[in-house]
Amino acid sequence: MKFPARSVLFDLDGTLVDPAGAITGGIRHALLSSGIPDPGQALLDTLVGPPLAHGLMTVPGMTEARLPAVIRDYRSEYSRHGIFRSRPYPGIPGLLDGLRAAGITLAVATSKPEHIALALLEAQGLLDKFDAVRGAAAAEQDSLAEGPGKGHIVRAALEALDAGPDTAVMVGDRHFDVQGATVCGLECIGVAWGFALPGELEAAGAAAIVHSAHELEDILFGGLPGTQVPETKGKAE
């Protein structure tokens, strides 16, 4: 695509917002409530990103019979407490303001259920910075049926912005974001501050990996390494 992008799609947890343990802590609470031992932080961290039901089934001791109760307890805990413990990553609010000031349209494309994504963005004061928010239906997150991946969510966000793959870019922290972007013909910039395992974003084919909001801003306005475009940018604060 040509830079600067006319539209930018962002993943939510691990990209825009640091869950601050709200997701993994909520899952741990729900597991223990159902008599399932704490699987450890490393495994819990891998559950940030994929559909919840599929992720939970990787936890030792989890069964399909226990799954509905665990999901129900997690959703309740997250809605009451987790949304308010989360925080935008450093520089993200300023980055979003700079992009909007430059006339770039913004969307969230998340595997989180859409109504929860909207509530989280509102609680964190970010909702009005986006032109569209697209997420998963609750049934997708809570079902063990083979899901469609993230491509349909990315596509829905593109359609909401009336954007095409030649004018838009995806930003995310997991290989699910890269893959969802790829099936829609988008490049994906990976962020290193999220929940990717070492080498995950590189293996998935991320166009670049950034380590700060300022570095992300440089690419969104100035292009991928090796490209040159006219200087037009705001500043992440």
Name the 3-class secondary structure at 170: strand
Answer whether 235's CB lies under 8 Å from 98's CB.
Answer: yes
Q: Which residues are the active-site residues?
A: 11, 13
Provide the residue type at 19 as one letter: P
- Closest to 44 measured CA to CA, from 69, 25, 30, 62: 25
CA 96 to mean position of chain CA atoms: 15
Cα separation, 207 vs 213, whole angstroms: 16
Tokens 């090796």 locate to: 226
The pLDDT, as a whole number, for residue 232 is 46
pTM: 0.86
Report how far residue 81's alpha carbon sits from residue 17's, in angstroms, rounded to the nearest whole number. 15
Decide: 173 and 191 in contact? Cβ < 8 Å: yes
Please list the ranges in the chain whose pLDDT falls under 70. Answer: 1-3, 138-148, 226-237
Is residue 163 a contact partner of residue 196, using CB atoms and an 8 Å limit? Answer: no
Residues 59-99 pLDDT 10s: 999 999 999 999 999 988 888 888 888 999 999 999 999 99
Residues sharing a CB contact under 8 Å with residue 28, sequence separation 6 or more, in sequence order: 38, 44
Cis peptide before 4 (omega within 30 of 0): yes
Write down the pLDDT at residue 16.
98
Query: What domains can you pick out in the chain, each with its CATH number?
Result: 7-18+88-222 (3.40.50.1000), 22-85 (1.10.150.240)
Q: What is the pLDDT of residue 202?
A: 97
